[in-house]
Amino acid sequence: MVSDETRASALRRSLAKAQAELENLEWNKIDLVLLYADALVEEPFNNDQSEEDIQAVESRFEQERATIDKAIKKAEDLVELLKLTLQKLDTTMTESKKREQPERKSDLHSFTHYNTDVFDVSPQLNIRKHQALVRVFEYETIPVTDVTTMEIDYLRLPLERIEGAPVLTLDLQAVDKKELALKIVIGVVDFFSNFERFYKRRLTVDLFDDMAWRYMSLALESADLAALYDEDILRPRYKSRGWREVKECLSDMFNLPILTGDVLGQLFTIAPIPSEHVRMYVDRIQVLIRATQMEGLDEALVATITASLPGAGQDKVMQKFGTLKGVSCVGELLRFMRESPSIMYGEPSVPSTWLLNKFANDTIDDTTIPQHQRKGKGKAVQFPCDYGNSRNFHPYRKPRSKRQ
């Protein structure tokens, strides 16, 4: 006869497999939408497709989406069935253990509560994290997972709401669709920064990485995302639940890799708006850099921003710095632009390979160019893709890997 433990183990494996399949189907649906979005939006303008061709593309899209939706619904039903079955089996096993196992009494004076699953102990002040909990929260008892290691059970640790703590608020009602990706990305990135700064100061470095995941749930209540986050953060992929895993969990919830790719495309094809003041233009650039966290790619950003300026403005940059490599960082270029209002005077230019070819020796090491693309010493490098024509061209965006 198969034991309950064996059945439970088999159910958990089946559940993990079904959840992975459901996740892959959802990603396939996203890829399908993006693929047909390109076909429906871009191809009619590029290839002069007829109305019948466009309707045929739309029809194929609806058929393929219906097929994926049907598969997703089937996978969701299977996941729910496996969860329900496993929950019932776990309940049966727990009740069986309680009947079979006699009550145990503790002979350790430090225990204030004890059973087979839960340990609450008096703080052990010789342990750094116990000491930090007493110092910050003045706990009289601390839940632990093991009385030998005294490892803290943060899941059962009572939380105290902290006044003035940052919360996630995303007001997207009146946001234009073109600005939606940037609004979400910059909102989440700024929230991460405010959350880390506040709780590192309040929890101290000793406790922040261990308790940030619990306080994140409180911070998401105002956005009605706490329940979804509480379920996701307990998944095996976020096992350690440190600050890095917390940000990864939120990134997955918001699909930040995809949204950041769209914002990255805006950054590398940025251009001044007619009659826009230089300070407003610099502010727009800084928002995009902050959203994409591209501060480390100074040479590429310097070349991109310089290429977006009018010809006279490009000449002013070269007169000031001599070469693009003379610009120590993108911040230095933006400061120079703020102090030079006349840098925006003149006919607007279209960011393209022209400026990059002109200053290729300043921005790119010839040894990094594949042999078949090299044009000889001293000649301009011919880039394989126009810098400003492709909406999907993100030079520093890595391909999305299949989710585990």
The three-state secondary structure class of 222 is helix
* DSSP for residue 371: G
pLDDT (tens digit per residue) in 333-349? 999 999 988 888 876 66
Does residue 20 or residue 388 have the better pLDDT?
20
pLDDT (tens digit per residue) in 53-95? 777 777 887 888 888 888 888 888 887 877 877 787 777 777 7
Q: What is the pLDDT, as a whole number, of residue 112?
A: 41
pLDDT (tens digit per residue) in 196-236? 999 999 999 999 999 999 999 999 998 899 999 999 998 88
Q: What is the pTM of this model?
A: 0.54
Distance CA 320, CA 327 (A): 9
pLDDT (tens digit per residue) in 129-174? 999 999 988 888 999 888 888 889 998 898 888 899 999 988 877 7
Token pair, residue 235, equals 């998944």
Token pair, residue 300, equals 């590429």
The percentage of the chain sitting over the pLDDT mark of 70, rounded to a whole number, equals 75
Q: What is the pLDDT, as a whole number, of residue 385?
A: 37
Q: What is the pLDDT, as a whole number, of residue 85?
A: 79
Distance CA 71, CA 63 (A): 13
The upper half-sphere exposure of residue 127, i.e. CA atoms within 13 Å in the direction of its Cβ, equals 17
Is residue 374 over pLDDT 70?
no
The percentage of the chain sitting over the pLDDT mark of 90, rounded to a whole number, equals 18
Q: What is the pLDDT, as a whole number, of residue 94?
A: 75
